[in-house]
Structure formats: C-alpha cells, structure tokens
Structure 1
C-alpha cells in the first residue's frame, strides 16, 4: 500500500515539473484577466515589444488548470492594417480634343459602376497643371466632380517624381470628361479607371521621446527617439514651408547597437524611401518593424533645408484572436529567441471565428523563475568534523580488535 502511495506522489511531482517546464522556456508572462468566453481578443501592449523576438514567434498562451495540467490556447495573430481593394472599371474613349484653353478627353463607362479614381499617363514629362473632371449622363449636361486638381511630373538627373492619379468622392455617371487646363497642355497617353475601397485599420500613435534635427552635407537628418521598441509602420512628415518642394528621402531604423571603448556603435538599416513634396500629405507606410529609433535623411540638393514642423510615428495594432477550450488560469508568455512560430489548426478555420470578441485585459509583466539545478553540498563542510569521525572510527575498530585478541 505504501509503495502505491509513493508511486502516485512521484507521478504528481513529474506532472507538476512538466507543467512548469513548458512555461519555464520563456522569460516573461502576463496574466490574462477575466477569461469568460470560448473566444477572446488580446491587443498586444507596447511594453512587451522590447522583450519579444523580432518576428513575434515566441508568443504563447498557456493555462494552468486546477489539477496542475498545462493547456496551450491556440491563437491567430492579426495585424490591424487597412484592407484595400481595387476594381478596374471598363470604359471606351469617346473623343479627344485640344483648344487654346487646354486639352480634353472624354470616355464612357461600359458598366453601371461607381468610380473614385482615374490614373493618368502623359506623353510628356516635366509639367505642373490643374485638372477638372466632369460627369454626365447624356453628353449635354455636365456636373463638376473635382476641380483645380493638381498634377505634376518632375524628371531630371536628381529627381524622378510624378503625381498623376486623380482621387475624388464616389461618383456614378455614364460619361466622364477630363480637362487639362492651360495652353500647350501635356497629352494624355493612357487612363485607367478604378474603384478603390478601403477598410480603415487600427493605428497607435507613438509618443516621441525626443527629436534631433541636424543639417549635414546638403542633407537634413532627423533622428527620432521613441523611448522603447515599438512596431513602427507609418510616418507623417509635416513642414512649415509654403513654397513648392520635391525632396528625395530615406527612412532607416535602428537594428542594434554595440558598446565599444570609443562609445556606442549604432547599426541603422533602410526601411523605405520616397519623395517629400508640397502636393501630397507626405504620409508613408512600410513593413512593420520593431525599433526604438528611426532616422529620416532628406536630400536637399542645392535647395535651402525644409523647416520640419513635426514627424508623427504610428504603428498598426497587433491582436491575438484566441480560443480557450479549458477552464484554467491563463498567461501570455514570451521572451525566447530560440523557438519557432507555433502552428495551429486555427489558421485553416478563420471563418469559425465569431464576429464580435471581448478584449481581455492583461496583468503586470512578471519574470518567470527558472528551474536551476541545485549543487549538492558535502555532508561535512568543516574538515575537523571529518577527522574527528575518522579518529572515532579508528578507535572503535582498534577497541574491537583488542577485545577479539583477549578472547583468544
């Protein structure tokens, strides 16, 4: 009976040890509070990104049941970026004409469709013009869709830039007329008509700890310190200038840094590039990257530097869509560069996810204690005790020997 009890106790100990060993592979955990449904959403907070792997592959959700069993909750990782769909609309040209006031192109939409964009290609480069777009149902009565819409092309040894896409509110006409204003207007070579639909994403605006602007070798270098690593995927550059400008720029992010005897060595890598200009909003999206510093290098060429007002830095929300199949105390665990991304069945059954999910709150970050092997200490630390026992043993053996000899 006693042997059976000992075996059961040993099994329970091994189960508890295995339970802890799964979580023990990670460095940090946050308790998931008020898990009440089979499905929940978890928005990843900013503070965890300094401790997760760069591709978020080390995130796991573990639960500890009342029986000390470990359960792993599967999840889908979603980046809440905008979803954009584009539908090309068929059309045919009706006519082209040129007057001393400008050039016209008229086309007929072949389907009963809504449009909101016209992409134009021109025969010539290097122009700066204004465009008017009108719509009609009968080629007689024309209604303004958009007016004084600026299009631009700059093509030289230093800059190659064009802005020739017309964007306007959803519009539904049978005929459209595009008028390029001005004498010697550039000729329209080709047009594409589309309906762009955009589902808004969920952004976080990150707090900028400090901004440093330096003018160096005809470049404006803007270094932005975000204070802690966060997933950056969007910047908006605001200037105070009222004149027209077109400046190539690059964006770099701080990948890592090394401390040497001479000081810190920072390793920046390119993440995107483009052209700052006075026509567009100067908003730029790029692949989400976890970093705590970004550097924007604006090439001023021979122009005076731009007066930078503000740089807004944002990133998409990251959300875990999680299924809970057992009653347990659940934790979000992370912090292990050596594990691969998990593979769950959920990725093949996304249509099963309910439409509305309750978002869970997270507890404070905790460091997960590690199982460390205990060093076996000697029974006797002080050698005096060891010698004393050895002398006692020798004396006893000697005494027994003498007693045996006397008996003989």
Structure 2
C-alpha cells in the first residue's frame, strides 16, 4: 500500500509540475496598492477593456505571499448602472363617459399614494391621439396635470411602434380623470398606474474620436459611423436630433466585432446592439446592455422622409469596478488577457448583502506584460502532441511497473 500511495503521489506531483503558474495564464498584470481593510473596490482602468474578454471572464486578482505562495482573491463585478424601482398602485375605473371633447376614464386610487406614471394598453394598433389628465380629491374641483399630451401607435410592414406611457409630475390625488380626444371610442384594455424610484448610476462620458454621417439614397437611410478613442464598455448613446417637427424612424445600432483588410480597403463585420424607433415623442437616447465597443454604426431608416440632422452625439458607459475581499497580507495584482478561461464562481456571490456599503477604492498601477503567455498561447501543453504522448507513456510505464510488483508479491 505504501508503494501504491507513493506512486499515486508521484503522478499527481508530475502533473502539477507540468502546469503553469496561475498568473502566467494571463497576458497582463497591474499592481494593486492601498490594501488596509478586508473589503475594497478595485476600479477598472479604461485602457484595459480592449485587452480583456468580451464578457470580462478573465479578470483575476492574485496575491503573492512572502513564502512565494499564490492566493486568489474573490471578487464581484459591479456595474454601477441606473436602477428603476417601479411600484404598482391599485386602482379602480369608477366612471367612463364621453362628450364632444372625447372619451373620459376616471380612476380611483385605493390609497392616497404618489404616482408619476400611467401606462395605457389599447386594442387599436394604429392611432394618434391627444390626451389630458386631471387630478382631484373629491371629484368636485379638478386640477390639470398633463395637457395636449400625445400618444401614438403605428404598426405596418416597416414599423411596430407604441408610445402610450404618460409621464406626469409626482402627484397625490384620490381620483385621476383621463380624457382621450378622439371622435371614435378607444378600446382601452388595461391601465397601469405606478410610482418610479430612480437610483442614479455612475456614468462616464466617452469622447468620440471620429464621426461620419452619410446618406444612402438607394437604401433611403442615414448611416452614422463613430470611432471612439479606444475600446470601452458603453451602454447608452444620445443622438441629439436637431429637428423640432414630429418624426418616427426605425433605427439599428451595431458595433464592429472584427474586420478584414482587402484590396479595396477594410470590411467590417457588425453585431446588433439594439433595434428600435427614433421618435420625436421620446428622448433621442437609447440604452442597451453594457458592451465593449470601439467602432459602431447607427442606421436610421428614413423611408420617403427627409433625413434628420444629428449634432452633439454623446456616448456613455457605466463605471465598472470589482468588489474584492482581502484576507492575507500579500502583494496583489490585477491580471487579465485570456479568452479561454471561464467566469469565476466565488462564495461571496451568495453573501453580497454582508458586504459593507462604504468601501475604499484601491490604486491600480500601470500595465505590465507577462511574457510567458505568448508561449502558452502558441503551444499549450495539452495541444502539444509530444508532451501529451510523453505523459501517457510515462504513466503507462509507472502503472505497468506497479502491476508487475503486485503480481510478484502474490507469487
């Protein structure tokens, strides 16, 4: 049994000796300084996003202890995005009527709660109506909250667009009376009354290095190409439409995933970030999941309409940082640059409520290249057939020797 245990231990040590160190699996590292508590935030520099995997799965924090042992620091990725907490308010429709002005719907709120939004859903799919909204405590005196507010729905082969959400100042009334200025009776299916609490995120404005706006007459589109100074995580774009008249145009926002150089120039492959509608009824800004982008394209489908003018285009992204737990005195590094590793799974993800609310950010140093990664990427040990066959042969020899020894003992 002792020889068997020694044999197994030898094989394990052999396999371990052939593996690379943890930090050497990554192409870059940055020194982290300022650790003096158990919990800290680690801000992610903008200059590193062009060298990490698209889903940020290759971020690691390693610590080197005095005895040369390497420890891995658990972390949570925090994207400081805006959060909207919406609370539905119970209500009853207590009255419906109409006159020469249009059709009225009176909502009675169950409690005297503050509301700031009413979302309507109609059976009709093509309409363009003006509405008025009033509030009252006893239905004796009415106060105007919204007047000449436009709601719109367009559905055809090219467009499927609805704008039926009424945004109003925070209001506290028992009764709300909605007037839809229409000659025909609207078929109101449902209404949702709510109050929204907005928790502001931490935005970063990213400069646009180059902008090009071109009209495509054959496709009847306007194409806007943007080149940011570097690859950064973005989640919002504002187009700054100059026109003040009414419009709605289908729009597609995409970003470059790779490129090929040909004799005629560069050909770019794009991946869609968002498809929607650019409308005068809403802000000309669009939000989408945080994505690492450097070059992007916005396509506006004008149809038979005059092209719009775009100025002051703004691109924004949320602040990205790591929330990390440090338990040992060591020299710490942030490492990244390996598209072949999976997202880590740490225990602290199950106990995020125990993380302190106020954390001190650490300092992240300049980038250093880890040279060993080049060898690892070009000729990984498990892709090198000579290494693989060598290990197999060695294991077979050791196991064969062990088997012969056991047979001799039985004899």
Q: Given the two structures, how large is their TM-score scaled by the length of structure 1? A: 0.82
Aligned equivalent of 1:252, options 254, 257, 271: 254
Larger Rg belongs to: 1
Per the TM alignment, residue 99 of structure 1 is displaced from its structure 2 partner at its CA by: 1.4
CA distance in 2, matches of 1:152, 1:46: 41
Superposition map of 1:5-404 within 5 A: 21-181=21-181, 183-184=183-184, 186=186, 188-216=188-216, 217-370=219-372
Instruction: Structure 1: state its 5+ residue gaps.
Output: 1-16, 374-408
Asked if the contact 1:86–1:197 (Cα under 8 Å) also holds between the matched residues in 2, the reply is yes
Q: Output the CA distance in 2 between the equivalents of 1:205 and 1:250.
A: 21
The answer (yes or no) to whether the contact 1:88–1:192 under 8 Å persists in 2 is yes
- Residues 284-324 of structure 1: CA deviation (Å, up to 9, x unaligned): 11122112111011100011111111321111221100111
Number of aligned positions between the proteins: 358
**Other structure's SS at 2:42 match:** strand
Contact 2:26 2:373 in 1 (8 A): no
Rounded Cα–Cα distance in structure 2 between residues aligned with 1:104 and 1:179:
5
Q: Structure 2: which 5+ residue stretches go unaligned?
A: 1-16, 376-411
- Relative to structure 2, which stretch is displaced further, 270-279 or 143-152? 143-152
Aligned to 2:383: none
Encode CA deviations 1:81-125: one digit per residue, 9 max, x unaligned.
Answer: 122222222211111111112221101112342221111123444
Q: Distance in 1 between matches of 2:374 and 2:200?
A: 49
Q: Structure 2 vs 1, CA of residues 158 and 19 (structure 1 numbering), >3 Å: closer, same or farther?
A: closer
CA distance 1:260–1:102, shift in 2 (3 Å): same
Q: In structure 2, what is the Cα distance between the partners aligned to 1:161 and 1:339?
A: 41
Deviation at 1:163, TM superposition (A): 1.0
* Inter-partner Cα distance in structure 2 for 1:242 and 1:355: 44
* Structure-1 separation of matches of 2:66 and 2:190: 69
For the Cα contact (< 8 Å) 1:220–1:305, is it kept in 2? yes
Measured in 2, the distance between the counterparts of 1:124 and 1:264 equals 47
Q: Distance in 2 between matches of 1:158 and 1:268?
A: 22
Describe the SS at the equivalent of 2:306.
coil
CA distance in 2, matches of 1:61, 1:213: 42
TM-score (norm 2): 0.82
* Aligned CA-pair RMSD: 2.3
Secondary structure in 1 matching 2:338: coil
What per-residue deviation string (whole Å, max 9, x for no partner) do you get for residues 140-160 of structure 1? Answer: 122232333222223334333
Runs of 4 or more off by more than 4 Å in structure 1? 17-20, 182-187
Aligned-residue offset at 1:165: 0.5
- More moved, 327-336 vs 161-170: 161-170
Structure-2 separation of matches of 1:296 and 1:323: 41
C-alpha contact (below 8 Å) 2:235/2:287 kept by paired residues: yes
Shift of 1:161: 1.8
C-alpha distance in structure 2 between counterparts of 1:89 and 1:234, whole Å: 30
Contact 1:127/1:186, CA 8 A, preserved across alignment = no
